[in-house]
């Protein structure tokens, strides 16, 4: 029996990267998957891959920054599976290390809108269902940039520090209602988001100096998310878990 048997997981950003890796991994452990993404074709591909492996999956289009879109996606998930008890807020946007004096207001607002407002919108829409279910889990994807400076530009770093605070406050507010909330802080992971700079001399030097000694893989994050979603971590609340090969510790 899988570790997430009889569970329904709503995963944003599920068309690719960390979201897709979590969707596939959770499905392997018996979860029903709602693959939610702005890229509906990509979400459909993730869901089809799960169904081809005899899992259960629904693809929904979602713009996490738009309340009506979030409501429609959550309604579709509840109508299809009856309940949602697990949420992974994975959808996010990077700013390519652009610093304050080179960041325009539109870009700053857009990054925070996706990374903070999006997490707010989806969590607010789903927490009532998780509470009604009696027990559930929320996992927020932060970043090493949420634990230090220098992990991104001004917008991304600000937003990911916000993810950490959001996680702690949700855990404090809703833990006694059965909602267990934690976050993951990925390091340098081999995804399209980091492909533009993962091969630079500076990045490669950082990788060689850290205990892990390599670029992370999406499955590294998916396995950590699986642990946090499962009953094995039932007494873990309000934690932001670095999954970064020790990068934060060595900088």
Look at residue 251 and tell me whether its pLDDT is greater than 70.
Answer: no
**pLDDT over 70, % of the chain:** 93
pLDDT attached to residue 249:
80
Q: Read off the pLDDT of residues 79-92 as tens digits, 9 standing for 90 and up.
A: 999 999 999 999 99
- Domain ranges, ordered by start, for the chain: 8-187+219-241
pLDDT attached to residue 205:
66
Look at 236 and 151; give whichever has higher pLDDT.
236
pLDDT attached to residue 194:
66
pLDDT attached to residue 82:
97
Residues marked active site are found at 156
Q: Read off the pLDDT of residues 149-162 as tens digits, 9 standing for 90 and up.
A: 999 999 999 999 99
- State mean pLDDT over 6-17: 98
pLDDT attached to residue 192:
75
- State mean pLDDT over 12-36: 98
pLDDT attached to residue 93:
97
Alpha-carbon distance of 240 to 89, in angstroms, equals: 13
Look at residue 75 and tell me whether its pLDDT is greater than 90.
Answer: yes
What's the CATH class of domain 8-187+219-241?
A: alpha beta
Confidence of residue 250 (pLDDT cuts 50, 70, 90): confident
Q: Read off the pLDDT of residues 189-207 as tens digits, 9 standing for 90 and up.
A: 988 766 665 566 666 666 7
- State mean pLDDT over 149-176: 97
Look at 244 and 196; give whichever has higher pLDDT.
244
pLDDT attached to residue 203:
66
Look at residue 184 and tell me whether its pLDDT is greater than 90.
Answer: yes
Compute CA distances 149 → 11, 92, 161, 248, 251, whole Å: 28, 18, 10, 10, 10
- State mean pLDDT over 17-24: 98
């Amino acid at each position: 029996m899988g570790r997430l048997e009889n569970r329904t997981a709503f995963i944003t950003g599920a068309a690719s990267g960390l979201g897709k890796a979590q969707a596939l991994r959770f499905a392997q452990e018996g979860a029903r998957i709602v693959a939610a993404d702005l890229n509906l074709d990509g979400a459909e591909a993730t869901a089809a891959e799960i169904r081809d492996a005899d899992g259960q999956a629904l693809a929904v289009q979602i713009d996490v920054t738009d309340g009506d879109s979030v409501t429609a996606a959550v309604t579709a998930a509840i109508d299809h599976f009856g309940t949602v008890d697990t949420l992974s807020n994975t959808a996010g946007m990077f700013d390519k290390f652009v610093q304050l004096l080179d960041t325009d207001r539109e870009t700053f607002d857009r990054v925070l809108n996706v990374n903070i407002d999006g997490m707010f919108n989806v969590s607010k829409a789903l927490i009532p269902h998780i509470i009604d279910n009696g027990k559930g889990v929320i996992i927020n994807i932060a970043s090493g940039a949420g634990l230090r400076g220098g992990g991104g530009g001004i917008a991304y770093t600000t937003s990911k520090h916000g993810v950490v605070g959001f996680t702690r406050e949700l855990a404090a507010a809703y833990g006694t209602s059965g909602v267990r909330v934690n976050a993951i802080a990925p390091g340098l992971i081999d995804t399209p988001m980091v492909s533009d700079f993962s091969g630079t001399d500076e990045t490669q030097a950082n990788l060689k100096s850290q205990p892990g000694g390599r670029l992370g893989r999406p499955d590294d994050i998916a396995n950590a998310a699986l642990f946090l979603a499962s009953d094995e971590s039932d007494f873990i609340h309000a934690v932001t878990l670095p999954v970064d090969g020790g990068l934060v510790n060595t900088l």
